[in-house]
Amino acid sequence: MSPLKLNKIKTTIYIVTLICLCFILFIKTHAEIIYTNLGDFYYKRNNVEKAVLYFEKALDRGAADTKLRETYVNSIINSPLTVENQEKLLKIINANINDTASRTAKYFLFNLKREINNKYPQNYVQQATYNGKILHWGEFPISYVVKNTKDIPKSFIEEIDNAFNEWERVSSCRVRFVKENIGSGDIEVEFIKEQTDNPVYGSKYVSAYTTPDVGQTKLNKMSIKINILDPEGKMFTQNQIYNTALHEIFHALGMMGHSYEPEDVMFMTKKHAVIINDERVKISDADKKTLELLYKIKPDITNENKIKYEYIPYLIIGNDAEINNFKKLEANNYIHNAPNLPGGYIDLAESFAAEGKYIEAIHNLEKALRLAGDKETKYIIFYNMAVSYYKIDFYDIAIDNVEKAFQYKDTEELHQLKAEINIKKNNIKDAIDEYTYLTEKNPHNIDYTIALANIFVKQHNYLKVRNIVKTYLKNNPKDKNNVRLKPYGILRF
């Protein structure tokens, strides 16, 4: 090939490349206009699905045109009212732009919320939240196992089964259980023998508690512990065990709060007559409605997302301020009805903490500690004390409370808190030790990996960062394109 012909080819390639680059640059710089026009085109032709798609592309690229946002909201409102579309409307509201689009979205969701309230007039699902989030199982059947049954009356075990069967029956089998005879289950029931010294209203009561095992947004299991001994060291009756199991199973299903009505299973204490006459309680209509509505809400924390949900949490329990208000009301009601139990003071402390009032939170946790009798409750108190002191920069006292919590329970959340406190104290070696332990214990938790990697980034030890990220990807190959690992991309090769 002659030099002249070769130069012509090179020139042609150069011109074509330049035109392509200019075209790409034009598309990028005018993307929001192009997507907006495409959205309008499909909206005018009643192809709402495609209109929403292109409007979202425009919004994602920074478009903030008032008319665009208004048309986008109207497109969603005229689409099927799926959970995904509800979330899109909420995103518009949370953008804090006071325009017609935001007001339209807010008004629409307000009316939808009113419709739901009319449909479920008798429920207490607002009290269901766990740390301000909706938590429940996302796949059925839910397995359960009864543990520590040595020297436990057979009738007590039967009453546990009866309680699970009753919840399944009243839900018309929407909630289903399967019992495992050995090993572990989604819900693990364990009998304990601890003589209590906090009788309610001077009468016998069954002390029990349910604890969720949660990792970030993952619900791993629910642990129910039921004490079989009364304050005098005598065994409770079958009816008392059954009544307690009904209450705790609803906690294990995700109803983490309590009802204000004495007729409901989830009222925090049993009526005096029920205890004295050894009566068997019944699941109320409000209990049933609460369960039904709870499992129609898309959870923030679950095991699997295999259930078709109808509502976003916002529609049922409101925004953060509303959730915390319900939490505070419930805590005060708990304290009023059971002032000698620690639960109400713990809930009130969590409510104050959510408002950033950590001194008030600490005062209530101290009250709870004076009433606490079991190890689980003491762990919760010391953990929350540690968090509260950490938030007000009292790091030495925070670490002291972490160590006290470790005396009762060894958890990942406690190691993570200890690591974060040590970072604040500039005890970097101790923080590295804690996060190294966590990444080895739970190699699938990306938060632990990122936290550990960031420590070494600040030390400019990029080889160590590379090894940490490579180890994580080896254990989690599906996370290869996870956007959270993008900042470490150049170190992964």
pLDDT in tens, 65-100: 788 888 889 889 988 889 999 999 998 888 888 889
Q: Are residues 174 and 104 in the same domain?
A: no
What is the reported pLDDT for 5? Answer: 62
Specify whether the CB–CB gap between 301 and 130 falls below 8 A: yes
Mean of all residue pLDDT scores within the chain: 85
Q: Which residue, among 424, 479, 487, has the nearest Cα to 457 in the 3D structure?
A: 487
Query: Has residue 133 been placed in a domain?
Result: no
Residue 206 binned pLDDT confidence (cut-offs 50, 70, 90) = very low
Beta bridge partners of 218: 215, 302
The proportion of the chain whose per-residue pLDDT surpasses 70, expressed as a percent, equals 87
Pair 165, 97 in one domain? no
Burial-class residue 489 by CB neighbours within 10 Å (0-12, 13-18, 19+). Answer: exposed
User: What per-residue confidence (pLDDT) applies to 277?
Assistant: 67
Tokens of 131: 């740390």
Query: Structural domain tally of the chain?
Result: 3
The answer to whether residues 194 and 289 belong to one domain is yes
Domain limit, last residue, from 291, 308, 325: 308
Whether residues 160 and 267 fall in one domain: yes
Amino acid type, 54: Y
Q: Tell me the three state secondary structure of residue 189.
A: strand
Residue 130 lies in a domain: no
Q: Are residues 151 and 104 in the same domain?
A: no
Residue 325 lies in a domain: no
pLDDT confidence of residue 299: 95
Q: What is the number of other CB atoms lying within 10 angstroms of the CB of residue 260?
A: 17
* 146 and 112 together in one domain: no
Distance CA 199, CA 240 (A): 14
Residue 87 sits in which domain range? 3-119
Q: Is the pLDDT of residue 284 over 80?
A: yes
Last residue in a domain, options 104, 119, 134:
119
Look-up of token digits 């074509």:
16
pLDDT digits (tens, 9 = 90+) for 178-194: 999 888 899 999 998 87
Q: Same domain, yes or no, for 303 and 163?
A: yes
Instruction: Say whether pLDDT at 492 is over 60.
Output: no
Residue 303 located in a structural domain: yes
Is 76 domain-assigned?
Answer: yes
Spatial neighbors of 54 by CB under 8 A, at least 6 apart, are: 35, 36, 38, 39, 42
Domain stops at, among 274, 308, 342:
308
Helices and strands (DSSP H and E) totals, the chain: 20, 5
pLDDT tens per residue across span 122-138: 899 988 988 888 999 99
Question: Are residues 102 and 181 both part of a single domain?
Answer: no
Question: Lowest-confidence range among 36-50, 136-150, 423-437, 457-471?
Answer: 36-50
**Which of 196-200, 449-453, 478-482 comes out lowest in average pLDDT?**
196-200
| pLDDT of res. 236 | 86
Average pLDDT over residues 302-310: 88
Residue 418: give its domain's CATH number: 1.25.40.10
- 115 lies in the same domain as 167: no
Give the number of other CB atoms < 10 A from CB of residue 214: 19
Residues 91 and 146 in one domain: no
∠ Cα 140 83 60 (to 5°): 130
Split at pLDDT 50, 70, 90, the class of 14 is low
**CA distances from residue 300 to 135, 214, 230, 357 in whole angstroms, order as listed:** 6, 11, 37, 25
Which pLDDT band, with edges at 50, 70 and 90, does 105 fall under? very high
Q: Does residue 365 sit within a domain?
A: no
Does the pLDDT of residue 30 top 60, yes or no? Answer: no
> Could you tell me if 176 and 104 lie in one domain?
no
Is 214 domain-assigned?
yes
Relative to beta strand 208-215, strand 218-227 is antiparallel
Query: Considering the domain boundaries, does residue 352 fall inside one?
Result: no
219 and 302 part of one domain:
yes
Cβ(317)–Cβ(109) below 8 Å: no
